[in-house]
Amino acid sequence: MTNDCAVYDDGVLRITNTDDPPGLALAGEIDESTYDGLVGALGSVANGSADVHVSLAGVSYCDLAGLRAIVCVTGAGHGNGGNGDRDARRVVLHEVPPQLATVLRIVGWDSTPGLAVDQPPGSPDPRRGGQPGSVAR
Amino acid sequence: MNRVEGTFEHWACIYDDDSQFLEAALPFLADGLTLGEPVLAVATPANLELLGAALGERSADVDYAESAFFGRRPPRRVGAFYRYWKGGQDRSRGSRVRILAEPAWAGRSAREITAWTRMEAAINVTLASTSISMICPYDARTTDAGILADALRTHPAQVAGSRQIPSAQYTDPEAFARSCDTRPLAQPPDGAQTFGFDGDLRGLRRFIVGSADAHGLAGDRADMLVLAVSEVGAYLKSRWPASATVRIWEQPGAIVCDFRQPGASISDPFLGLRPAELVPGDGDGLWLANQICDRMDIRSDAAGCAIQLQVPSSHDQEMAAQPGTRYPV
């Protein structure tokens, strides 16, 4: 559920806060022109003790640098690709568009410690092991 | 995290018969199993059968894949190795990872042979920071002498049985890669769709969406082409004031997208061949483009630099029958 107040909106990328679960919902295109806005919004939710939830349902394009910023929002990947601390809070990606799920798999970031990808009910990706509706680690 | 850094090991094994293959491959794999290391065998079906029979019960602990299907293009093979290594690091807390990696040569065009041989040289650099130990078997019964000669140039050492023999012919990977890049790129035909890229990445993506549609690419095939092309545009823009001419056309078996950036020069022969990490690196986006496309060729000359991407055309029936099969491996 989102509230109406956008934390960033430049007409290309719109970012709103979500309350339940707490995090951000992204819509639009993410590339170098919207990167700073993305990083700023991610910074506003990066500090805290709870998992960070990011809905990507409305993302029509996201480049690799933007995807990296999202995956690393809670500090995953600092050091050399994840420090393996499984007690750290996670970033949970919701409603990942198929092409971004493919990109995560191609670059191998889908197995980043501290990253979870929420599998929407009824559309399990057969190339992943998670159960429908589960949060696969 | 304590990763073993900078210890990529890369041997060629040129064998004349089954027993020579097994004398090198079997101890390599079995020693890895004894040490508890992740072990992957990528080989022909015939050699996988030989290994299975020789390993007996232990074969259940060996991951395997057929050579022809584990990364159908060189960058994807490297990507598959890299992901296997990363997965192995996660499972076994930083141990070495062993990979038997037999290339498949039968039926390849001269251009493809060059691309695969170039990859053998490149991984000495691009996988240098991994803790992979790799033996690449070459079957002398079925492989051209020229390919076997190049194997000695692209591997620092050979194995024969359990013996390791430094290769006197080993060639600096950068010099070797440059020597592979002499074939001219395809010239854009008259009538290719053209876009003047001045740094407007959104405009570039709209152009590619339209072109993909005109060439019959839809769904994830169009999305992935857009992603690859946009990453190339972003790279050029990050390095030079963007003023590239982008052309797209169809040739037998491929959609080709060609960037020409006047005044630019790319000197790194391994640009786009280093795996993208969560820590940013130069050319990360081109690694992704390389994983998506069938080919990415880069050339520089007095006029500027050219980056040419190829993806399968809409007439590719493998993609039509099994959507997504080309990604990511």
The pLDDT value recorded for residue B1 is 37
Interface of B with A in 238-277 (CB under 8 A): 238, 275-277
Measure CB to CB from residue A29 to each of B3, B202, B278 and give the nearest one: B202
What are A32-88's pLDDT values in tens digits? 999 999 999 999 998 878 899 999 999 999 999 999 999 999 887 654 334 445 457
The pLDDT value recorded for residue A132 is 37
Q: Is B205 on the interface with A (CB under 8 A)?
A: yes
Q: Are residues B283 and B152 in the same domain?
A: no
d(CA B235, CA B296) in angstroms, rounded, equals 14
**Which domain does B272 fall in, by range?**
193-321
Q: Are residues B175 and B307 in the same domain?
A: no
Mean pLDDT of A114-118: 92
d(CA B238, CA B80) in angstroms, rounded, equals 28
What are A1-34's pLDDT values in tens digits? 555 689 999 999 999 999 888 899 999 999 999 9
Domain final residue pick, B180, B210, B228: B180
Partners of B85 on chain A (C-beta within 8 Å) are: none
The pLDDT value recorded for residue B4 is 45
The pLDDT value recorded for residue A129 is 39
Q: Is the pTM of this model over 0.80?
A: yes
What are B231-268's pLDDT values in tens digits? 999 999 999 998 999 999 999 989 999 999 999 999 99
Q: How many CB pairs under 8 A join A and B?
A: 93
Mean pLDDT of B299-303: 95
d(CA B215, CA B194) in angstroms, rounded, equals 14
Mean pLDDT lowest for which of B48-57, B68-77, B130-139? B68-77
The pLDDT value recorded for residue B163 is 94
Q: Which CATH architecture has domain A2-136?
A: 2-Layer Sandwich (3.30)
Q: Are residues B201 and B157 in the same domain?
A: no
Neighbours of B19 (CB within 10 A): 10
In chain B, how many domains are there?
A: 2
Q: Is residue B104 one of the residues assigned to a domain?
A: yes
Q: Report ipTM (2 d.p.).
A: 0.91
Measure CB to CB from residue A68 to each of B1, B90, B278 and give the nearest one: B278
What are B194-226's pLDDT values in tens digits? 999 999 999 999 999 999 999 999 988 999 999
